[in-house]
Amino acid sequence: MGAIVGGIALATTVALAGCATGGGSNGADSGVISTNGSEPQNPLIPTNTNEVGGGKILDAIFAGLVYYEADGTPVNDLAESITSTDQQNYTVKIKSGEKFSNGEAVTSDSFINAWKDGALLSNKRLNSYFFEDIQGFSYDADSDLTGLKKVDDQTFTIALNSKLADFPLRLGYSAFYPLPKEAFDSNGQVTKAFGENPVGNGPYKLASKTAWQHNKKIDLTTNSSYTGGRKADNKGLSIVFYSDLGAAYQDLLSDNLDVLDALPDSAFANFKSDLGDRAINTPGAVFQSFTIPSNTANYTDQTAFAHFQGDEGKLRRAAISHAIDRDTITEKIFDGTRTPAVDFTSPTISGFNKDIPGSDVLKYDPDEAKKLWAEADAISPWSGSFSIAYNTDGGHKGWVDAVCNGLNNNLKGMDCSGKAYPTFQQARQLISKNDAGKRDITTAFRSGWQADYPGLFNFLGPLYATNASSNDGDYSNADFDNLLKEGSSEPDIDKANAKFTQAEEVLFKDLPAIPLWYQNTVGGFSTKVENVKVGWNSVPIYYQITKK
């Protein structure tokens, strides 16, 4: 979910392309809403899911202490209250009577045990980074989150390492969801088996033990145990995993799919006329980029990025950025459904700044690109080729080819091309660390972020802070880290955002990722449904959608 990624997959993984995919078979009378999705990278464990496909499902079947309204406003969900007198020590009171779909009560232990499991180093949870601010967290060895204390079944306290004014805002993210007792083995660790058939406490639950048909779809039904503000107005969700967005779009046009939140490139020019007032084109908290690893210590093949280290690497990254014509690409390929990036966050987030010093590195300037590339060649002459990895099931080939054309035309000897992987999951397996703690990817790779919660920090910390969960380029800069900490501890949101803006200045010097554009949510819905709205994070608000 952020993901990614963490990051973002707009559509992934194998379904029978071109056939009816759930919407048609559900029919208007079933009340079940069919929509597109992607095969999750891992079993559905909240602390180990940081990509959009799995996050979309987790947000439907789990409820946290807070949730976010369409405009990003936080609202208490399971929390009766979250209070603090110093912004470092928080007291959480849980509403009484809340239950998991198996009938088990949601208690303080449901949160404490889930978070402690997610923070254990030996578990290698992808979202462990979100717990680093809680006292007792360690990146060096297994540790206990000593900052979590149970007061009673409905109350627990959280002691942080330092003041974090926005900590309650973060608690709507899926990493902070509670878990039932059956999630844990005899050692108190969450099992993969639970992730294959998770039991949650949200507005939906798995329709059956076989509801998750891998690489095809997952079927959810409503959860009568949920009493929060996201009570479903329909009878369930059928989330279909497509290998081809073109097939998904054809299913939408033929009313065999109810809601589609991504489009193939080929549909951008005509989707508004095809769908009329059922077309979706709205700004979202989604940032797109591609990453060129700068710190290769955790990469299996460290020689693959030899030209992108030190001063030579900074020059080449800046040259590459200046060689990309973002305006033309967003207009010609995306038909205005993207906006060229001017920073590393999103215009939809409070505190966004379009005039950050150093951001001129994102301007198309072929002459400056050639000059910087030549300066890099003076340090070490360019050799070899350059590739950008992407997943073909997400509709990325067009822009990757366009970016490479710009690089080849403006940078001497570049020899840029796309490196295609059939599914997002396959690409992520190479980008994510393997069991030996190494990354097997040998090229630059598509990256990006769909916000977990509506704050500037969420676009910066998880992606670029040292050891952060979605820092796939393994970037590390002490000045950047310190500015993030200073901003996070600021009680005044404007002063906090000013620190985050300074942190972005550091990113513009180093370019751990090459910002490309902000992504609108583009898609549409069938004639069979109504009350379709898209939230601040670009995900349709599924629980509000109804069948006609």
Residue 7 has a pLDDT of 33
Residue at 33 is within a domain: no
The pair of three-digit structure tokens given for residue 525, joined into one six-digit string? 């819905």
Residue at 334 is within a domain: yes
Residue 18 has a pLDDT of 31
Using a pLDDT cut of 70, give the percent of the chain over it. Answer: 95
Q: What is the CATH number of the domain that holds 381?
A: 3.10.105.10
Residue at 432 is within a domain: yes
Residue 241: Cβ within 10 Å count: 26
Residue 234 has a pLDDT of 98
CA separation (Å) from 112 to 82, 119, 183, 352, 374?
Answer: 15, 11, 13, 34, 55
Residue at 495 is within a domain: yes
Residue 537 has a pLDDT of 85
C-alpha span between 492 and 505 (Å, rounded): 21
Residue 19 has a pLDDT of 34
On average, the pLDDT of the chain sits at: 91
Residue at 403 is within a domain: yes
The pair of three-digit structure tokens given for residue 304, joined into one six-digit string? 């693959």
Query: Would you mind telling me the total number of residues written for the chain in this entry?
Result: 548
Full DSSP string of 371-394: HHHHHHHHHS---S-EEEEEEGGG
> What digits encode the pLDDT tens for the residues 238-268?
999 998 899 999 999 999 999 999 998 889 9
Tell me the residue range of the domain where 474 lies. Answer: 285-520
> What digits encode the pLDDT tens for the residues 175-204?
999 999 999 999 999 999 999 999 999 999
Q: Average pLDDT in the 283-298 region?
A: 90
Half-sphere exposure of 17 (CA within 13 A, CB side): 10
Residue 28 has a pLDDT of 46
Residue 423 has a pLDDT of 87
The dihedral sign for the CA sequence 197, 202, 207, 208 = positive
Using a pLDDT cut of 90, give the percent of the chain over it. Answer: 78
CA separation (Å) from 435 to 153, 250, 300, 430, 491?
Answer: 37, 40, 12, 12, 40
Q: How many domains does the chain divide into?
A: 1
Full DSSP string of 50-114: -BHHHHHHHHHH---SEEE-TTS-EEESSEEEEEESSSSEEEEEEPTT-B-TTSPBP-HHHHHHH
Residue 452 has a pLDDT of 82
Q: Among 38-47, 211-220, 271-280, 488-497, name the one with the lowest average pLDDT.
A: 488-497
Q: Among 416-420, 431-435, 441-445, name the one with the lowest average pLDDT.
A: 431-435
**DSSP assigned state of 300:** S
CA separation (Å) from 509 to 101, 248, 406, 502?
Answer: 49, 40, 22, 11
Residue 521 has pLDDT above 80, yes or no: yes
Does the pTM surpass 0.85? The reply is: no
Phi/psi at 456 (5° precision): -55, -40
Q: Average pLDDT in the 94-104 region?
A: 97
Residue 58 has a pLDDT of 97
> What digits encode the pLDDT tens for the residues 345-391?
998 888 999 999 999 999 999 999 999 999 999 999 999 999 999 99
Residue at 275 is within a domain: no
363 neighbors 406 (Cβ within 8 angstroms): no
Residue 114 has pLDDT above 90, yes or no: yes
Element (H, E) at 485: helix 478-488
| Cα angle: 492, vertex 463, 71; to 5 degrees | 55
Residue at 191 is within a domain: no
Q: Helix, strand, or coil here: 314?
A: helix
Residue 86 exposed, middle or buried by CB count within 10 Å (0-12, 13-18, 19+): exposed
Residue 29 has a pLDDT of 57
Residue 42 has a pLDDT of 94
- Residue 493 CA, chain-centre distance (Å), reads 23
Q: Average pLDDT in the 29-55 region?
A: 92
Q: What is the 3-state secondary structure (H, E, C) of 319-337?
A: HHHHCCCHHHHHHHCCCCC
Q: Average pLDDT in the 327-344 region?
A: 93
Residue at 463 is within a domain: yes
Q: Among 128-132, 204-208, 232-236, 282-286, name the one with the lowest average pLDDT.
A: 282-286
